[in-house]
Chain A
Amino acid sequence: MKKLGEQVMRIVFFAAACASILAVVLICVFLFANGLPAIAEIGVFDFLLGQKWKPSNDIYGILPMILGSIYVTAGAVIVGVPIGILTAIFMAKFCPKGLYRFLKPATELLAGIPSVVYGFFGLVVIVPIIGRFNDGNGSSILAASLLLGIMILPTIIGVSESAIRAVPESYYEGGRALGASHERSVFFATLPAASSGILAAVVLGIGRAIGETMAVIMVAGNHARMPAGILKGIRTLTANIVMEMGYAADLHREALIATGVVLFVFILMINLLFSVLKRRVN
């Protein structure tokens, strides 16, 4: 009898562990089954490379949104990566212990703030400031990049910091023994050794930025047109789904789901890159 209980629970644990496999399979099946037919109907090239998105005329080209997501993400990387890596270096190698006890929870809090709150902050602070220099129109690629740059900071700081800490202390000591200053040893001995871990942090940050939805919607303007400059508005893939899903029907709805499929494929590629990099670190 006792043996039986053990066996049953073992199977229960195993079944629970398989839930994540089931979830991934279901997500893939439902997204692809609902999205791919629309892509086939619109035509792969017309869908991915079409420059016009006009659902009322049955024209579904998502190139503006793909470019929008890429531009905004690139902007976020330019803003967030240098600040994030520098903060990580500070926390790992320069920070006094007392300050660290305050700084570490602060970066964790930065990760915990909801994206609507970030979006609202962007809407009432960043957008008006940019608007002042741009004829009152502040919803732009620049606003979205700045906001996303802030939002990916905790991801980049967390992963880079542990990458820097994972470098053996002997690298740093070797630098000091050869007469290099503390800063030079950290930057030119420790940091290069942590480079693939830091690269993994950047890739993870890119994934966060490209998938961010609510904050971007609130500051990016959301016009479905080709990007025309960093002070002009843009619509991202994620924004496209949320903006129109509420009232879309038929092919329009399927085209939005297909937008989700394109986003999903982007994310899968980024995830793959991340796990390859992480494996290289280990």
Chain B
Amino acid sequence: MGGERINKRGLRQRAKEYAASPLSLFLLLLVIAGAVVTLSVLIFLIVYILIKGIPYITPDLFALEYNSENVSLFPAMVNTVTMTMLALVIAAPLGIFSAIYLTEYAKRGSRVVELIRLTTETLSGIPSIVYGLFGMLFFVTALRWGYSMLAGALTLSIMILPLIMRTTEEALKAVPDSYREGSFGLGAGKLRTVFRIVLPSAVPGILAGIILATGRIVGETAALMYTAGTVADIPDSVMDSGRTLAVHMYALSNEGLHVGQAYATAVVLLVIVIAINWVSSFLAGRIAKGR
């Protein structure tokens, strides 16, 4: 404790130091200014949209059926949930299984593993419009599915695959080797060790990744416009077109007739995204504490 007090400089002492070295003061101010700009942009954006949008949130906006009078976002919300479920059902098992292969089975430095890493890195850098183009060419045109929820969900599942793989891999790697050794020592096989010991202790990390992926699905527009289409109703089946909240919002602001409702949709999207981020960092925080 004593050492700390000696090292602590008073305000006057600091002011003297900065007076002697204006460059240090300048750098300090620069760094603080950068952080202030970043933070104030975020706060301004959220507050502006909330203030402008909340008055437009009316019961009409959540009517069960969409028509051009009520501009209901309820169907879009249902579609968003469906789309998220579909994409996750496809991508989560694939991503988790790949991560299991990479951490538990693969030999380090093998050719295939390097190829898998390279392609995952490539996938995570591809912009969403390119995914949209591919989805349109492959699912919509080549497989003749037409604009459909399923085509959109499959496109999105490829898009979120690298995210789920990376977060799951990190979660699996964080499980101490002693767990595995203990399980092997008690006579369990590799498979049983993976499913009974390693996976359960990695659950919070995997969940955090899946929730982050949910955030990307909810916010995605470019990859969905030409795969899931832009019909504003709840589709009868997964082979029909339907638009999610983000696509709904783009359509509203593009038409320019319902700016108020666009604000309201932005509020709903923001609230969802903030909730998702909060839950994800809560889970990540639990992992950090558990260690």
Chain A residues with a Cβ under 8 A of chain B: 2, 5-6, 9-10, 12-14, 16-21, 23-24, 26-27, 30-31, 34, 82-87, 89-91, 94-95, 103, 105-110, 112-121, 123-125, 150, 153, 157, 181-184, 186-187, 204, 207-208, 210-214, 218, 238, 241-242, 245-246, 257, 260, 263-264, 267-268, 270-271, 274-275
Contact = CB atoms under 8 A, between A and B. Distances in A.
**Interface core residue of A103, A124, A246, A267 (most chain B CB under 10 Å):** A124
B100 interface: yes
B276 interface: yes
A211 to B, nearest CB: 2
B134 A116 contact: no
B273 interface: yes
B226 interface: yes
Contacts, number: 243
24 contacts: A6-B189, A6-B191, A13-B105, A14-B105, A17-B106, A18-B116, A20-B161, A20-B165, A23-B158, A23-B161, A27-B126, A27-B131, A27-B158, A107-B38, A116-B250, A117-B49, A121-B49, A123-B253, A184-B21, A204-B125, A211-B128, A238-B222, A241-B133, A274-B125
Interface string B73-104: 00000000000000000000111011011101
Given A123-B253, A184-B21, A21 B119 contact: yes
Contact of A110 (B42, B100, B165): B42
Given A86-B34, A95-B35, A31 B130 contact: yes
Nearest to A212: B127
Given A94-B32, A113-B219, A263-B130, A245 B226 contact: yes
A271 B221 contact: no
A23 B219 contact: no
Given A112-B277, A214-B250, A242 B222 contact: yes
B168 to A, nearest CB: 11
A272 B148 CA distance: 34
A108 B27 CA distance: 25
B270 interface: yes
Given A17-B101, A121-B49, A257 B34 contact: no
A128 B25 CA distance: 36
Contact of B281 (A14, A108, A211): A108
Nearest to A33: B137
A218 B122 contact: no
B15 interface: no
A273 to B, nearest CB: 11
